[in-house]
Each structure stands twice: as C-alpha cells, then as structure tokens.
Amino acid sequence: MTMILRDVRFPIREATISGHILNPDWLNKYGEGKSLRLEWDVVVQTEEQLIDEELFADPRISWAEFSFPIRRWSELEGQTIQFDAARDALTAPHAFSYFETHELIPVSTLKFVKRAGNKFLIHWEGTCDPMFEEPYHKNVPFLIQTEAVFKEISVQAGESDTDATTLERLSKYLDPADFIQHPMKEIVRNDPVENRFGIFDPLLRWVFRSPATRRSVQRYSVFEPRI
C-alpha cells in the first residue's frame, strides 16, 4: 500500500473516503455556482520519506466535491473519475497535492477497484506538481495503490434542522437503510474578528469586547456506513 512519486516510494499513513451534503440555507447565501448534491471526498496521507539528499516530504493527495449517480454507497465499487486540465474546465472537480504548497493536480484518474466491507481498494494515477527542484518540480508521475476506508456521510444542518430532517435530506441521495445515524452534533467556535475596517476597529472591539471574537455554531449529522 504505497504512493510512488516518480522513483520514490511513500508508505501510506491513512486513506479515507467520506461524503457530505451542504445545508441548503448556507448554499443559498454563500455557495455561488454550487448545486445541492451529495459530494464525495478522498484523502490519502503518506508517511515522511526522503526524496533527495536533504529533502523530506510527506505528501497528501486529495480529491473533493465529486459526485456519482449511485443510490447505495457500496456502488462506489467500480466507479472512476478523471480530470485533465488540458481538456476539462477548472470548474470541474479536480484533485490537489500538498507537499509544501497546495497545487492542482493537472492529470488524474481515480478508480474504486474493489470493495471489502467499508474498505475500497483504490488505484490513483496521474501527474502532480511538487514544486521542488528537478526532476520533482512539475508534471511528475505518481501512482497510488492502497486501501481506503469509507468513514461517514456528514449532513450540514441549519438552525431549524433536526435528526429527522437531516435523515430526510440524506435519503434523497442514498438509501438510509445503509447507515447508522448518530445524534446531531454542535460545534461552537469563537473566531477572532479580523481588522478590516481601519478606524472602525475600536468600535468592533467594543461591540465584541476584548479580545474581539464572533461566535459561530456549526451543526451537522453524521451517518456511519452499516457494514
């Protein structure tokens, strides 16, 4: 279970598959150009490895926001997604690499080859841009063959959502009988208020008190695959 970057082998630390469904209210406000659907994410994290004499890296390869016309999560088996920057618009879902910076992967083919329970053997190949010295700068071939674990589907929830409404939203895309629903979660965050207004910053600090923060609440339901 490795990633091969040109001639360097990276052991895989973790490979995961997950899905998410956005909250329609959030999408209407902030998701310009996006449509409501179930989107899949695949992330492969490697172990640190020596590339050159003094250069270490632990690349992460990810592909998010792609979709398949399937009704059951087990039907990921046999699916393939491709992207070629020379052919496809950048608005199409595409993969990213992270070595020291995030870079679009210009050519990528990801195959969900075989399933065993909630684990999928994936075959992922293409060319990426590590942005190191040659021959590891741009258009470097890579190949990933590993087992990826399907962990969960996350359904983003609004203020009025309940466990029942998030279950209903999931059922529009996948068979709910294939999942175990966990109680809705809430994450409360106090984010710093950025100083974007110059002379108005003292007013912001008075409104939000010091230190200036803004409270936000994120709600979502988690659906674990039933094996």
- Can you give the pTM of this predicted structure? 0.85
pLDDT reading at 137 higher than 90: yes
Give the C-alpha separation, 152 to 167, whole Å.
13
Residue 76 has, within 13 A of its CA and on its CB side, a CA count of 29
The residues, ordered by sequence, that sit 6+ positions from 169 with a Cβ below 8 Å of its Cβ are 21, 155
| 148-205 pLDDT, tens digit each | 999 999 999 988 899 999 999 999 999 999 999 999 998 877 766 554 444 455 555 5
Give the C-alpha separation, 215 to 112, whole Å.
40
| 35-94 pLDDT, tens digit each | 678 999 999 999 999 988 788 999 999 999 999 999 999 999 999 999 999 999 988 899
pLDDT reading at 114 higher than 80: yes
pLDDT reading at 206 higher than 60: no
Q: How far is CA 49 from the centre of its chain?
A: 23
The residues, ordered by sequence, that sit 6+ positions from 210 with a Cβ below 8 Å of its Cβ are none
Tell me if 141 sits within 8 A of 125, measured CB to CB: yes
Tell me if 214 sits within 8 A of 191, measured CB to CB: yes
Tell me if 172 sits within 8 A of 191, measured CB to CB: no
